[in-house]
Structure 1
Amino acid sequence: MNLVRFMNNRAPSNKRYQPTEYEHAANCATHALWIIPSILGGVLLYFLSDNQWEEVSAWLYGAGLSSLFIISTVFHTIAWKKSHLRSVEQCFHMCDRMVIYFFIAASYAPWLILRELGPWAAHMRWVVWVMASCGTTYVFFFHERYKMVELVCYTVMGLFPALVILSMTDRSGLYELLVGGVFYMLGMIFFKSDGIVPFAHAIWHLFVAVGAGVHYYAIWKYLYSPDNQQTSTAR
């Protein structure tokens, strides 16, 4: 099977990969599909909230989740249409990378805010946002210069806050968090496979969507569902 029309050659380390028309379309579709569900999901968590901290967590998580899919879709659409406003495309490409840090921090927010944590682990509630700020600052100054460093930053940001699990007395939802994390980690293989695997970036998008879906389910079930809240109250 001739893959030339589906995939371009791999880009040099100092340049950005240029998707084919087919890949552009797939990149847009695989994240645009989840914009409305992510917004509705955040709203649902808000209406299930019983106190202000649950409301704050719902807004943070909903904003992070929907922003990821919205900004990604906007960037890939602009890149696909080959806009003459290259500065706009570059800006949204940076935002596309920056929002990943915000999304990771927002994904941890409900667990860090609503679960009881040990003394040292409680600091992670603000440390995770400091890490996200450092990551976005790095993208601003070194965007696309050191791609492997960027990958390491995403990995550290995704894994380091999980250490708070050691101090949680209630570890329900841990299995779902692990499964979602595995999807993210496997997806990163495709994140770095443009020019090697056809539609690699779109496949990465699908892994992100599945990982986010699993984590959303865990947040809804163990932190917001009426049955679980009633059980927690009874205890």
Structure 2
Amino acid sequence: MNLVRFMNNRVPSNKRYQPTDYEHAANCATHALWVIPSLLGSSVLHFLSEDQWERVSAWLYGAGLTSLFLISTLFHMYNHVLYLSRSVEHCFHMCDRMVIYFFIAASYAPWLNLRELGPWTCHMRFSPLFHSLSLPFSLSLLVSRYKLMELICYTVMGVFPALVILSMPDREGLCELLVGGACYCLGMVFFKSDGLVPFAHAIWHLFVAMGAGVHYYAIYRYLYTPAANQMKTSR
């Protein structure tokens, strides 16, 4: 099978991979499909909220979830359809990378805000959001040159809040969090496989969508359904 139409050659670590037209289209579609479901899912959480903290958490989570798919779609569409200049493309690229940090922090926001934490971690409730805002700006130049550092930063941002969540007396939803995290970790294999596996970046997008879907289910079921709210009230 001739893969030239579906995958370009591998590039050196200090250069950007240029997807084929088919890969570009797949990169756009695999995240564009989830923009509207993210908006609808975020709205559901907002309408199920019963107090201010639940509404704030729903807004933060929804903003992170929707912006991840929306900005990724705009970045890939710009590269594929509307490319005008290198400087504008670089701006889109940096926004696409930075929103990942915000999405990671936003994914943890409902758990850190709405669940009781252990005594040694309660003061770390807002630390993921702080790091999501400060880390990208301090590392943006570094990760654009050293791609391995970029991957390490994503991993650290994803694992650090998980250590806080492990202190929760109520462990309901932990299994789903682990499954979603496993989806992200498996997807990272394809995140760095451009030029080795056809449609590698699009496959990474699908793993991200699966991980986000599992995490959304856990948030909806264990933090926002009537049964979950009744359990929190009875404590």
Unaligned residue ranges in structure 1 (runs of 5+):
none
Equivalent in the alignment of 2:185: 185
Alpha-carbon RMSD across the aligned residues, in angstroms, is 1.2
CA distance in 2, matches of 1:72, 1:193: 18
Task: Output aligned runs, 1:4-153, within 5 Å.
Answer: 4-81=4-81, 83-153=83-153
- Answer yes or no: is the 8 Å Cα contact 2:143–2:149 preserved in 1: no
Identity %: 71
Distance 2:143 2:158 in 1: 19
Q: CA deviation at 1:230?
A: 1.9
CA contact (8 A) 1:65 1:103 kept: yes
**1:55, CA displacement in angstroms?**
0.2
Alignment deviations for residues 62-102 of structure 1 (CA, whole Å, 9 cap, x no partner): 00000000000000000112512221111010000000000
What amino acid is aligned across from residue 162 of structure 1 in structure 2? A
Aligned to 1:226: 226
What is the aligned partner in structure 2 of residue 174 from structure 1?
174
Task: Judge conservation of contact 1:97–1:139 (CA < 8 Å) in 2.
Answer: no
The one-character-per-residue Cα deviations of 1:182-223 (angstroms, maximum 9, x if unpaired) are 000000000000000000000000000000000000000000
How many residues are matched? Answer: 235
Contact 1:16-1:144 within 8 A present in 2 as well: no
8 Å CA contact 2:111–2:165 kept in 1: the answer is no
Alpha-carbon shift at residue 120 of structure 1 (Å) = 2.4
Tell me how far apart the structure 1 counterparts of residues 222 and 48 of structure 2 sit (CA, whole Å).
12
Q: Distance in 1 between matches of 2:225 and 2:117?
A: 21
- After TM superposition, give the deviation of residue 129 of structure 1 in Å: 1.9
